[in-house]
Amino acid sequence: MNYNRGLILLVFIVLIPFIGMSQFRITQAGKPKNEPMEKKGWKSEKKNINTILLPFIDDFSNQGSLLNTDLWENSGAWANSNYPFLAPTVGVITFDALNSEGLLYEGANTTGFSADTLTSCKIRLDSILLPTPTRLSPKDSIYLSFYVQPGGGFGAIWDNVGATPARKDSLVLQFYSPSQDVWNSIWKTEGLMIDSIFAIDSTYWLHVNLPILDSIYFSSEFRFRFLNFASLDNNPSYAYVGNCDHWHIDYVYLDMDRSFDNKTIRDIAFVNPARSLLKSYQSMPSRQFITEDMGQNIEIKIVNLADIALSSQYKYNVYDEAGTSVASYDGGFENIYPYIQTKQFQTSPNHALPPINFSYPVSQTQWSRFNVVHIVKEGVGQDSRTTNDTIVFEQVFEDYFAYDDGSAENGFGIEPNTVSNLAIGFNLNVPDTLTAVDIYFNSSYQDANQKPFYLCVWNSLAGKPHDSIYRSSTYLTPSTNGLNKFTRYYLDSPLVIEQGEFFVSLQTKYSDYLNIGFDRNTDASSKTFGNWANSWEENTLFKGSIMVRPYFGYRAAIGLREVEKEETNLSIYPNPASNRLNIRLQNANSGWQKGEIRIVNMLGREVLSLGLRSEIDVSSLPNGVYIIYILNKETHQTKQEKLIIRR
């Protein structure tokens, strides 16, 4: 198999192991607990938790990363809709090698350790109260069922999401016996690939259905829990080691009067989360938006989990920040056939590929946000779950471009050669002023990712980076602020970029890997290029989007370089000004005295540039709010103040 050189995929991120483009590397991390995995009886911890009546059911489709605390106690596992591959319904609970703070567990090793744990609250398995109080026993046919999927995606490696568990890793289910005060291991699966599950019956998920037969569990304080065991790769460099060993669980269902072959439920649901309606971006600056940025259709996956054909209705509505409807689409009623029989989702284009029949009414001078709400309903009968019938996407028009959806399922790296570049291309519909770049760096084992880099900006020629128009004056250092939280890197001074394509790149200072967040649910691979040995190579084979977001305009620039404020003070007066503006720098060295003045308007566009002087003419500037920058020619630091022009 022939892969591009120069760019490295790191199967890491909120999860991340590393994969090379010339060879693949998977890495893991986690925190061992005191009890050995082989021990059957696990002592419980005494906690005050809720008591639940049957049925117990959760498909994790509550449109967020928070678990339902009325059902669960959690230690490290997390709800999401971006990591699984074609989930039974939208939303899963994921187990990996990261703790609840999104950091790799301490004490990781290559032989195996316990990581995340998800524990149910207390469940009344001794009796039911309605319609009449009745004691429960094994003869009541109580089953616990769930779907499980190993991470790593399906098919070609460059299409995969997250990290596949190693053979020695495992996912375990345990039941709690209140009378014995122990946890007993009931079910276990070792690491495997989705492909091996698919080969059995052409489904991407393993359905598990377990009877509860032992009388020791028929108590008012019964609980069950899932936990995973992970292991690190034997990698020669910590730079390759990150989050790994992903397991996804969906549709946990505990109830009476069930049977072993009970694999269906009357439920029509969405499978994937809602996505952007823009052609290329998840987010973009409002002043850059034009009608041509809208997509043509939306790809929607709807599933019928029943064992009979059902009728469903699909529609979407678009609302502005005030809750006013600005667009809508009604796909009407369509039949949808059982997935268990057809192994297909809804095929009718009215529901599966609805048109985008509008353009966002975006303000060119203000930020805008819109909620796109998709709804599917069963036409006849009673849908057993309604939480998975609605998905929502928030379309953001602020001051930045984003190909990614904000979730890094993997990591992406740069070939470890000095002065290697990883570049991502963007397009301006009108000239604008770049002031900062937001980057998400994955957490890596023993902070091996803390390697210096330079931030660069390039012009475009024939769709590739051509000549450098900016390089940070000093090297920068990766910073990880938490799970999927970006770090903002300010330019030394605002950079005016003309209309058309430009590229932002990260350039290594030494021969080190950089582990940058890589979103696998969007695809900007056609805009991603690597440079080593002074040659820009073709796009990467790996489908996804590097989590690098260029930020334009004064809102980012307000935070530019406030260091040394006490040593060198900038003052401007009068403010508001009408025709003349006085500028004073106290305790200024020669670099400041030889500096430049730049004035940027509210749209981030430079309206005036000249050498530093004590008085300037602003009579040509329209009334409004501006940011005035003073650039130090020697240190490339910047001072700034808000300026108001009023006549």
- Start-end of H helices in 240-344: 339-342
468 against 568, higher pLDDT? 468
Q: How confident is the model at residue 542 (pLDDT cuts 50, 70, 90)?
A: confident
**Residues 440-455: pLDDT tens digits?**
988 766 666 667 899 9
How many Å apart are CA 403 and CA 182, to the nearest integer?
A: 48
Of 267-281, 446-460, 612-626, highest mean pLDDT: 267-281
> What does the pLDDT read at residue 588?
60
How many Å apart are CA 407 and CA 63, to the nearest integer?
A: 14
**What's the chain's length in residues?**
647
> What does the pLDDT read at residue 235?
56
**Mean per-residue pLDDT, 180-184:** 96
**Residues 17-56: pLDDT tens digits?**
333 332 222 222 222 232 333 333 344 444 445 689 999 9
Quick one: what percent of the chain has pLDDT higher than 70?
82
How many Å apart are CA 213 and CA 140, to the nearest integer?
A: 9
Element containing residue 557 per DSSP (H, E): helix 554-557
Q: Is the pLDDT of residue 559 over 50?
A: no
Q: How confident is the model at residue 253 (pLDDT cuts 50, 70, 90)?
A: very high
How many Å apart are CA 454 and CA 251, to the nearest integer?
A: 46
Q: In the chain, what are the domains? A: 44-232+245-255 (2.60.120.260), 283-398 (2.60.40), 410-557 (2.60.120.820), 569-645 (2.60.40.3580)
Q: Is the pLDDT of residue 403 over 80?
A: yes
Q: Which residue is associated with the tokens 């700034």?
A: 640
How many Å apart are CA 118 and CA 69, to the nearest integer?
A: 11
Instruction: Give the residue from 406, 395, 421, 420 showing the smallest Cα distance to 547.
Output: 406
User: Please, what is the average pLDDT of the chain?
Assistant: 83
How many Å apart are CA 288 and CA 521, to the nearest integer?
A: 24
How many Å apart are CA 106 and CA 97, to the nearest integer?
A: 10
The least confident of 6-10, 87-91, 403-407, 643-647 is 6-10
Do the beta carbons of residue 616 and residue 572 sit within 8 Å?
no
Tokens of 348: 């009718």
Q: Is the pLDDT of residue 418 over 80?
A: no
275 against 584, higher pLDDT? 275
How many Å apart are CA 264 and CA 267, to the nearest integer?
A: 9
> What does the pLDDT read at residue 535?
75
> What does the pLDDT read at residue 141?
96
> What does the pLDDT read at residue 428?
97
Q: What is the largest CA-CA distance in the chain?
A: 91
> What does the pLDDT read at residue 316?
97
- Ordered strands of the 580-586 beta sheet: 569-573, 580-586, 615-617
> What does the pLDDT read at residue 390?
94
462-465-470-471 Cα dihedral, nearest 10 degrees:
-170
> What does the pLDDT read at residue 589?
64
The least confident of 78-82, 268-272, 563-567, 635-639 is 563-567
> What does the pLDDT read at residue 565?
40
Tokens of 599: 């004035």
Identity at 225, one-letter amino acid code: R
Q: Is the pLDDT of residue 283 over 60?
A: yes
Q: How confident is the model at residue 593 (pLDDT cuts 50, 70, 90)?
A: confident
The least confident of 126-135, 159-168, 353-362, 502-511 is 159-168
Q: Which residue is associated with the tokens 């192994």?
A: 343
> What does the pLDDT read at residue 163?
82
How wide is the angle at C-alpha 227 spanned by C-alphas 225 and 230, nearest 5°?
175
Q: How confident is the model at residue 105 (pLDDT cuts 50, 70, 90)?
A: confident
Do the beta carbons of residue 604 and residue 634 sit within 8 Å?
no
DSSP state of 166: P
Of 230-244, 364-378, 505-519, highest mean pLDDT: 364-378
The least confident of 61-65, 81-85, 269-273, 371-375 is 61-65
> What does the pLDDT read at residue 140?
96
Instruction: Give the residue from 369, 371, 373, 372 showing the smallest Cα distance to 397.
Output: 369
> What does the pLDDT read at residue 138?
93
> How many CA atoms are closer than 13 Å to the CA of 345, on its beta-carbon side?
18
Q: Is the pLDDT of residue 265 over 70?
A: yes
Of 17-31, 131-145, 617-631, highest mean pLDDT: 131-145
Tokens of 49: 């938790």
> What does the pLDDT read at residue 587?
66
Of 169-183, 552-566, 591-605, 623-637, highest mean pLDDT: 169-183
The least confident of 284-288, 413-417, 612-616 is 413-417
The three-state (H, E, C) secondary structure of 256-305, written as one string: CCCCCCCCCCCCEEECCCCCCCECCCCEEEHHHCCHHHECCECCCCEEEC
Do the beta carbons of residue 95 and residue 51 sit within 8 Å?
no
The least confident of 104-113, 342-351, 607-616 is 104-113
> What does the pLDDT read at residue 2?
32
Q: How confident is the model at residue 63 (pLDDT cuts 50, 70, 90)?
A: low
> What does the pLDDT read at residue 4?
33
Instruction: Give the residue from 413, 79, 104, 391 showing the smallest Cα distance to 248.
Output: 79
**Mean per-residue pLDDT, 293-309:** 96
> What does the pLDDT read at residue 485?
85
> How many CA atoms are closer than 13 Å to the CA of 543, on its beta-carbon side?
12
> What does the pLDDT read at residue 611?
86
Q: Is the pLDDT of residue 6 over 80?
A: no
239 φ/ψ angles, rounded to the nearest 5 degrees: -65, -15
Instruction: Give the residue from 408, 494, 400 showing the smallest Cα distance to 438.
Output: 400
> What does the pLDDT read at residue 67?
84
**Residues 498-513: pLDDT tens digits?**
999 999 999 888 766 7
Cα 572–chain centre separation: 43
Do the beta carbons of residue 32 and residue 113 sit within 8 Å?
yes
